[in-house]
Amino acid sequence: MLRVMIVDEKPGRAALLRDALQSTGYEVIARVTVNEDLQARIAESQPDVIVIDVDSPDRDTLEHMCCVGHTAQRP
């Protein structure tokens, strides 16, 4: 089972996505907002997949994801 982290500012939308993912067999391990330390939360929870809100990704979120892409192990 893949472990999924959701990065989204809107709790309602994140809940809908979480429910849809869980109903198809994915394990949603965390919902993170852009105000949190994304790299620390990724290191802590070790997700296999990270789903990011594309409506409003700020520059910091994209930069964090770039850094994670270079340093994190991939499944």
Q: What is the pLDDT of residues 32-73, one digit of tens each?
A: 887 777 888 888 999 999 898 877 666 666 776 676 666 666
Spans of all domains in the chain: 3-71
CATH of domain 3-71: 3.40.50.2300
Q: What is the pTM of this model?
A: 0.79
Q: Give the CA distances from residue 41 to residues 24, 25, 34, 37, 48, in Å, rounded to whole numbers and listed in that order.
A: 24, 22, 11, 6, 13
CA distance linking residue 20 with residue 5, whole number of Å: 13
